[in-house]
Structure 1
């Protein structure tokens, strides 16, 4: 097993790099947490072999796509029949840009 190299000084340095001001309590807590993370990564690295394929998900996933076939289309009149306001075969909406645009 790999001996951890996470020290409070390293955590303070990482805080400076990330521009995060850490209190002494936060440094102590993060030192332990980062130490545990590094140890777990080392354990995974020990058992990872070329015989085992890398996976992003434990269960094989497959996208199911439907055929892209156009169906029954609405006429312009059907589209606009419930519109609060329309003109010239288009939706009419309140202007959001100033007159200069």
Structure 2
């Protein structure tokens, strides 16, 4: 499928790209090539191919959610650059 320069200009406009004429022609050729490949893929008969969301037998690997004791406050704050009591002290993110 060969795109027209006007179609490429429209795509560039939608993507908010400023392309000079050389870039426009290069994009026209590249996008046309991509669309040609898509047309080839669409021509393949996949009626007997089952719908697939995952091609491998991977499953999520998770650990058992077990309640454990927390890290002691002094250990958690040992490398803190600044602390205030039992809390990390950080610069304000929001202005009042």
TM over 0.5: yes
The 8 Å contact of residues 80 and 91 in structure 1, kept in 2 or not, is answered as no
Calculate the TM-score normalised by the size of structure 1.
0.67
- The gaps in structure 1 that reach 5 residues or longer are none
Alignment of 1:90-101 (within 5 A): 90-91=86-87, 93=89, 96=92, 101=96
Q: How much does 1:62 deviate?
A: 1.3
**Relative to 1, partners in 2 of residues 1:85 and 1:11: Cα closer, same or farther, differing over 3 Å?**
closer
Matched pairs, number: 92
Q: Does 1:70 align with 2:67?
A: yes
CA separation of 1:96 and 1:53: change in aligned 2, threshold 3 A: same
Give 1:80's aligned residue: 74
Alignment equivalent of 2:30, drawn from 24, 30, 33? 33
1:26-64, Cα deviation, whole Å (9 max, x unpaired): 111011110111011111111142321344554332111
Aligned CA RMSD, in angstroms, stands at 3.0
TM-score normalized with structure 2 length: 0.69
Q: Which structure has the bigger radius of gyration?
A: 1
CA distance in 2, matches of 1:22, 1:94: 45
Structure 2, unmatched stretches of 5+, are: none
